Amino acid sequence: MPLLSNIENEYAGLIKDDSLSPGLIAIRDKVMQEQRISDEDALLLFESAPLSFLSVLADTVRTRLNGNKTFFNRNFHIEPTNVCIYDCKFCSYSRLIKHRGEGWEYTMEDMLNIVKSYDGKPVTEVHIVGGVMPQYDLDFYCTLFRKIKEHRPDLHVKALTPVEYHYIFKKAKVTYEEGMKRILESGVDSIPGGGAEIFHPEIREQIAADKCNADQWLRIHEIWHELGKKSNATILYGHIEKYTHRVDHMRRLRELQDRTGGFQTFIPLKFRNKDNQMSHLEESTVIEDLKNYAVSRIYLDNFPHVKAYWPMLGRSMAQVAMSFGVDDLDGTIDDTTKIYSMAGAEEQKPAMSTYDLVTLIKNAGRTPIERDTLYHELKDWSDHSFDEDTVYRGYVELPILN
Ligand code: V47
Ligand code: SF4
């Protein structure tokens, strides 16, 4: 059958006509012919596609875009505060101002000291995101970014989401356009994908009522892309949303990406239910997680990458996810984020050495490629031999000697 010619033989039996409904056959043919699937197709995949079928299609798209490569980077996070004026129902990490004594609020000096603690270490990115508080305003952040860049110009600053930007621009009485220009000038290199949650107001108003809405989130990314810069996008799934809301979320992203091309990576974030106001909900099954990666990969044909964020998903599932469309695992992280450990993720001290990441990727049969934040390939680690003792001690990433 010509349509199957670019599929490995082992896959062919899984997607033959006699085992599929006409709707799934039509979707298979579209994907094989590199045509875009519709919203209705995505819904049908969520509702009725067998997992093996999703794996084949997602892996086909992944291979087309990224071959056998799986990307990772060497990074750390700074979470300026976990005190927050907002009260998102899924958030286990934040504390309201009236309970600020239970949280942390870093000063500028604290954060610069964190950056300095990585002096001489082979990290390429700092990811900065946290709660929203009045003292962290536009001037504060612009000064912080400038000082980080003065100290270490080569460190990629991936910072703040439209949730923070919307708040700080409003407080500073500047337009989104002026605000984004200012943060660009002060040293931000790219924007992470957080704060997207679920765009549809039916759900957003129930789980994240007060913060920026979908149009504001999308507009801030659009302005950033118009400035020639890159960003990521997330979805927080597996709680009260329905498949239609997930498809609606991806449709809005796909449409914006058609206009700007500024998104690099789509990052599905699985709702974790410990110690938050939605703890009564069960978490999605691992099968649902794989399904979600696969449908995302197939639907978002204009997104170059799909990331499995391993601190949220766990290491073994991140390995499996690479057969469901995922080609990126994020980074070493070095135990510098608390968002997922506080929400019940298995990784209570999320840190992987380069050795850990490379081994994990190789053991899943993929080619480990170290990247920078903008997906420039820094090194193919396939044939690198490690001396474990010199590479990994505790949670500290030590310089690697070739
Ligand atoms: O926006 C918060 C999510 C996001 C929970 O761009 C939760 O490279 C699940 O966006 N269960 C922040 N999710 C993290 C984020 C991110 C992470 C890694 C890489 C990148 C990137 C971005 O975490 C929030 C929210 O959607 N979140 N609480 C929870 N209980
Ligand atoms: Fe605040 Fe972000 Fe938590 Fe919402 S998800 S409460 S904005 S820290």
User: Which among 41, 66, 91 is the end of a domain?
Assistant: 66
Asked whether residue 402 carries a pLDDT value surpassing 80, the answer given is no
3-class secondary-structure state, position 95: strand
Give, for 305, the enclosing helix (H) or strand (E).
Answer: strand 305-306
Note whether 30 and 74 are same-domain residues.
Answer: no
Cβ of 138 closer than 6 Å to ligand 1, yes or no, is no
Cβ of 94 closer than 6 Å to ligand 2, yes or no, is yes
Asked whether residue 257 carries a pLDDT value surpassing 50, the answer given is yes
Q: Identify the pLDDT of residue 367.
A: 97
Name the region of 67 (left: φ>0; alpha: ψ -120 to 50; beta: rest).
Answer: left
Note whether 78 and 32 are same-domain residues.
Answer: no
> Has residue 395 been placed in a domain?
no
> Has residue 388 been placed in a domain?
no
Note whether 54 and 88 are same-domain residues.
Answer: no
Q: Identify the pLDDT of residue 80.
A: 96
Strand pairing of 69-73 and 328-331? parallel
Note whether 95 and 76 are same-domain residues.
Answer: yes
Note whether 194 and 57 are same-domain residues.
Answer: no
Q: Identify the pLDDT of residue 14.
A: 67
Cβ of 253 closer than 6 Å to ligand 1, yes or no, is no
**Nearest CA, atom 4, ligand 2:** 88
Cβ of 132 closer than 6 Å to ligand 2, yes or no, is yes
Q: How far is the CA of 235 from the centre of ligand 1 (A)?
A: 8
pLDDT in tens, 237-247: 999 999 999 99
CA–CA gap between residue 293 and residue 42 (Å, rounded)? 12
Q: Identify the pLDDT of residue 388.
A: 54
> Has residue 402 been placed in a domain?
no
Predicted confidence band of residue 400 (pLDDT cuts 50, 70, 90): very low
pLDDT in tens, 68-120: 999 999 999 999 999 999 999 999 988 999 999 999 999 999 999 999 999 99
Predicted confidence band of residue 1 (pLDDT cuts 50, 70, 90): very low
Asked whether residue 28 carries a pLDDT value surpassing 80, the answer given is yes
Q: How far is the CA of 3 from the centre of ligand 1 (A)?
A: 38
pLDDT in tens, 33-58: 999 999 999 999 999 999 999 999 99
Domain total for the chain?
2
Cβ of 345 closer than 6 Å to ligand 1, yes or no, is no
Give the Cβ contact number of residue 100 at 10 Å.
16
> Has residue 259 been placed in a domain?
yes
Query: Which residues, 6+ apart, have CB-to-CB distance to 181 below 8 Å?
Result: 227
Q: Identify the pLDDT of residue 345.
A: 73
Note whether 362 and 351 are same-domain residues.
Answer: yes
Cβ of 80 closer than 6 Å to ligand 2, yes or no, is no
Structural domain of residue 52, as residue ranges?
Answer: 3-66
Note whether 20 and 92 are same-domain residues.
Answer: no
pTM across the whole model: 0.93
Q: Which of 93, 197, 236, 278 to mutate to test the pocket of ligand 1 (most atoms within 8 A of CB)?
A: 236
> Has residue 190 been placed in a domain?
yes
**Nearest CA, atom 8, ligand 2:** 131
Note whether 167 and 60 are same-domain residues.
Answer: no
Note whether 57 and 158 are same-domain residues.
Answer: no
> Has residue 278 been placed in a domain?
yes
Distances from the Cα of 19 to the Cα of 6, 33, 41, 53, angstroms: 19, 20, 18, 10
Binding residues: 84, 88, 90-91, 197
The residue ranking higher by pLDDT, 3 or 50, is 50
pLDDT in tens, 265-289: 999 999 999 999 999 999 999 999 9
Predicted confidence band of residue 13 (pLDDT cuts 50, 70, 90): low
Cβ of 306 closer than 6 Å to ligand 1, yes or no, is no
Q: Which of 95, 89, 91 is nearest to 206 (CA)?
A: 89
Of 77-81, 250-254, 343-347, the one with minimum mean pLDDT is 343-347
Asked whether residue 197 carries a pLDDT value surpassing 60, the answer given is yes
Asked whether residue 133 carries a pLDDT value surpassing 50, the answer given is yes
Domain at 317, CATH number: 3.20.20.70
Q: Identify the pLDDT of residue 62.
A: 98
> Has residue 401 been placed in a domain?
no
Note whether 285 and 371 are same-domain residues.
Answer: yes
| Mean pLDDT score, 316-339 | 89
Q: Identify the pLDDT of residue 386.
A: 72
Note whether 117 and 95 are same-domain residues.
Answer: yes
Note whether 321 and 180 are same-domain residues.
Answer: yes
Asked whether residue 346 carries a pLDDT value surpassing 80, the answer given is no
Give, for 59, the enclosing helix (H) or strand (E).
Answer: helix 51-66
> Has residue 189 been placed in a domain?
yes
Q: Identify the pLDDT of residue 401.
A: 43
| Residues 42 and 250 sit within 8 Å (Cβ to Cβ) | yes
Instruction: State the sign of the Cα–Cα–Cα–Cα dihedral 275, 163, 334, 381.
Output: positive
pLDDT in tens, 140-174: 999 999 999 999 999 999 999 999 999 999 999 99
Binding residues for [4Fe-4S] cluster: 84, 88, 91
Cβ of 269 closer than 6 Å to ligand 1, yes or no, is yes
